[in-house]
Amino acid sequence: MRATHPEGAGAIHRRDDRRGRNHGRRCHVPRRGRGSRDHPAPDHEQLRPQRPVHIYNLGTLLSTGQQGWADASGTFHAWPAGGNPPTDAPDASIAGPANGRSTTLQMPKFSGRVYFSYGQKLVFKLTTGGLVQPAAQNPSDPNVNILFNWSEYTLNDAGLWINSTQVDMFSAPYAVGVKLADGTVKNTGHLKAGGYNGFFNALKGQPGGWANLIQTRSDGTILRGLAPGHGLESGALPATIMDDHVNRVWSKYATSTLTVTPFTDQPNTKYYGRVSGNVMNFTHSSGAVVTTFQKPDADSIFGCYKLFDAPNDLVRGPISRTLCAAYNRSTLLVNSNHPDTSSTAFYQDVVTNHYARKIHAQMADGKAYAFAFDDVGNYESLVNDSNPQRAYITLDPFD
């Protein structure tokens, strides 16, 4: 993802300067070609970028709480009632840009996702409970053989937050950005040169079942690398894959103390963890137990849920987030004070989240959302601004 601000890249835009009263900011979706002057695409690259792109802006309209989609002009459409079995959702697709061009969308005040797919439109269904979104980890999902990805964003009265995500999968490369009032652009999500193929090659070479996370279509097209939690569901990874590391962590903190300082602006708020049997108890400064965690399994670690449930409180949630990040990064054995203030020790243990390790290794700025709490320590691929002028999602070459 070596994308830059499209004006600087000289991309051709199809701008829409009409600003409806109910519309939010504009989002430009530029599309890079197969390669650049400095990094031409290899001859063996498949023709994925030549195929048409379809864009979807789906989410919750914050003014009403309704779920639906926005068209290119920013007009909101609520989903109709679904059924059981699920019924087809209305076609919410927006024609995406050709190579080297841009499509401009008006963004309502939404909390949602911008999906994009290559070659084929995505299939969305509606149940009585609402929208069924694509789930590539499900072999029976109608989108499993479509090359697609998505960005997540919230635009509200306080500003814009937009991020690239690999929490569920690593797939079609893209970057996100926001233009500030002074004209500068903040962006993230860029891959290093050769980073797309570099990730898949690295995952293929990682022993222990990690190569099984890669999904390939019958025509040979690599579609995605699934996140390891989904690999556990499908049997691609063994359920015991993190046990050795967890056992060593458990042994260490049976005789020493783990200190968690979850709030950077409250350095005196600390919690202290010690293992006793099958639980790790956390106390505050007075010695009273404030929360307890059971010995985690790989699914809880990779998914940052179940045994690492993180309620929106001021005690268990922040500790849980910190622990989950530390287990994924395998830093609990080398540092007894968390969160880490440096990434130098991340993913150095032989037992770690190699999916996350290999994604971060290919990012130009080192940042990614490779698991749910990758924002602990600010290592996530997120940009935000309180007065955004434009947002950018750049679809990059597959190299």
Question: Are residues 82 and 15 in contact, defined by beta-carbon separation less than 8 angstroms?
Answer: no
Question: Are residues 103 and 27 in contact, defined by beta-carbon separation less than 8 angstroms?
Answer: no
Q: Is 380 a catalytic residue?
A: no
Catalytic residue among 168, 340, 380, 399: 168
Q: How does DSSP classify residue 84? A: S
Catalytic residue among 45, 152, 374, 396: 152
Alpha-carbon torsion, ordered 165, 170, 174, 177, to 10 deg: 20
- Residue identified by tokens 């400064």 is 285
Angle between helices 243-252 and 316-329 (to 10 degrees): 120
Which residues does 319 contact at the CB level (< 8 Å), separation at least 6?
Answer: 260, 262, 271, 273, 282, 291, 293
Which residues does 83 contact at the CB level (< 8 Å), separation at least 6?
Answer: 126, 127, 128
- Residue identified by tokens 């060593």 is 248
CA distance linking residue 64 with residue 398, whole number of Å: 39
* Three-point CA angle 235, 236, 242, nearest 5°: 90
Q: Is 168 a catalytic residue?
A: yes
Give the DSSP H or E segment for 30.
Answer: strand 26-30
Query: Which residues participate in catalysis according to the annotation?
Result: 152, 168
